[in-house]
Amino acid sequence: MTQTATGKLAPPASHAEPAHDLAAENRALRARMAYLLEQAERNHSIMTRHQAFDLDIVGASNFPELVGTIFRVLPVISELDNVTLTLIDEDADIRTVMAKLDVVFADYPDLLFVETADELGLDLGRRNAYSPTPKPLLGMYDKQRHAVSFPNAPAGLQSVALVPLLRNKRIIGSLNLGSCDPTRFTPSLGTDFIEHMASIIAICLENVISNEMLKYIGLTDSLTGVYNRRYIDRRLLEEIARARRQQYPISFMYLDIDHFKRVNDTVGHGGGDEVLREVASRIKNELRTSDALARFGGEEFVALLINANLESAAFVAERIRASVAGSLITLSPSLQLSVTVSIGVATLDLAAEGEGADIARELVARADGLLYHAKESGRNRVVSVRAA
């Protein structure tokens, strides 16, 4: 026993203190263990959710499905307050093709496009082929600095991560993650997990975009950029089925450039191609975005007009005729020529019975027959009713 300064006897240090220490240590260890277990469970649950997410995005068969999944699922499984995706689209090719394939960009306000990698807000320096792979940029949210990456930032956004999307060392965009927790993305945080996630997203994006491009190429006419026959054949069947179900009118136009052989003979095949492009563009300008224009081959075009009866389709056809004939087509400063079109217009008979394919064939044949009449009766005209 030792005597204390107060004169009382203290318990032997070798017995009482270790017991107290052990109990405290035990409690601390238990608490630590509980914390680690909780972390392990949380990590496990995050991993499981992310694995399911990876499978979802790998399985996405088109662009809307992929970006839709990213915007819907990622904020939930990663507990984020804002997720945006910026894609580099230098010549607006991605936007053009997606719009052609009916992607409605207004449905994805957090899908952003920039023209160059410099606009992504990443710390890229002056990059060349040997530059190291760019790293995610983590830190506090700054309204001004992050305006491009988070145009619709929710109130209270505190920390952000801008993660480059890379394919074969090429930057194709960035995945932008935002949190209202200021400690969520700090510069010292490890980035392996988000880099891995971004690499899967980048692969999926590249695959889906190239598939959509291929789809687009398969459905368009490479000379004029309008749809091709394969597309219109399929679309016609879909639209006929819908119009018959919902009982609204659709009309079909068959258009043919007059004396195109002469055009080719006068200005050569290259000049003829240029005329085809210009005529396609003039026709398209008179149609609504819901209508479909296709080149059927040679100097023939067809247009499918949704929600248009015979009268309004004939009115649009007359506008097209006037637009083509109304001004000369300029091939070079010294070479201009006058071109006209003949148009046959037919409308779907909603009372007709029978298979969709037969109805489609009959509609096209009727428009073709009326076009023949337009040619016979002098060209540069619209015929929508068979003369008695």
Ligand X SMILES: Nc1nc2c(ncn2[C@@H]2O[C@H](COP(=O)(O)OP(=O)(O)OP(=O)(O)O)[C@@H](O)[C@H]2O)c(=O)[nH]1
Q: What three-state secondary structure class fits 27?
A: helix
CA distance 319 to 35: 74
Please, what is the end-to-end C-alpha distance for the chain in angstroms? 130
> Per-residue string for binding with ligand X, 169-208, x by CB under 6 A?
----------------------------------------
CB of 313 to ligand X, least distance (A): 21
CB of 345 to ligand X, least distance (A): 17
Q: What three-state secondary structure class fits 383?
A: strand
Residue 8 in tokens: 């009382």
Centre a 10 Å sphere on the Cβ of residue 373 and count the other Cβ atoms it contains: 16
CB of 272 to ligand X, least distance (A): 3
Q: Residue 252 or residue 260: which is nearer to ligand X going by CB?
A: 260
> Per-residue string for binding with ligand X, 252-281, x by CB under 6 A?
----xxxxxx--x----x--xx--x-----
* Angle, alpha carbons 179-63-169 (nearest 5°): 70
Q: Residue 10 or residue 217: which is nearer to ligand X going by CB?
A: 217
Please give the backbone phi and psi of residue 81, each rounded to the nearest 5 degrees, phi first: -95, -15
Determine if residue 301 is left, alpha or beta; phi over 0 gives left, psi from -120 to 50 gives alpha, anything else beta. beta
Q: Residue 239 or residue 258: which is nearer to ligand X going by CB?
A: 258
Give whole-number Cα distances, 316 to 45, 290, 295, 322, 360, in Å: 59, 14, 18, 10, 21
- Choice from 325, 369, 375, 380 touching ligand X (CB under 6 A): 375
Q: Residue 273 or residue 362: which is nearer to ligand X going by CB?
A: 273
Q: Residue 136 or residue 272: which is nearer to ligand X going by CB?
A: 272
- Alpha-carbon 282 to chain mean position: 26
Give the residue at shortest CB distance from ligand X. Answer: 272
What DSSP assignment string belongs to 227-273? Answer: B-HHHHHHHHHHHHHHHHHHT--EEEEEEEETTHHHHHHHHHHHHHH
Q: Residue 87 or residue 263: which is nearer to ligand X going by CB?
A: 263
Residue 156, Cβ density class (10 Å: 0-12 exposed, 13-18 middle, ≥19 buried)? exposed
Sign of the alpha-carbon dihedral angle for 352, 354, 356, 359: negative
- Choice from 89, 221, 286, 299 touching ligand X (CB under 6 A): 299
Interaction of residue 212 with ligand X, rule CB under 6 A: no
> Per-residue string for binding with ligand X, 86-125, x by CB under 6 A?
----------------------------------------
CB of 364 to ligand X, least distance (A): 17
CB of 378 to ligand X, least distance (A): 11
Q: The sheet that has 250-257: what strands, in order across it?
A: 292-297, 300-306, 250-257, 341-347, 382-383
Q: Residue 249 or residue 272: which is nearer to ligand X going by CB?
A: 272
Q: Could you tell me how many residues of this chain bind ligand X (CB under 6 A)? A: 16
- Choice from 298, 349, 357, 385 touching ligand X (CB under 6 A): 298
Q: Residue 98 or residue 341: which is nearer to ligand X going by CB?
A: 341
Residues near ligand X (CB under 6 A): 223, 256-261, 264, 269, 272-273, 276, 298-299, 375, 379
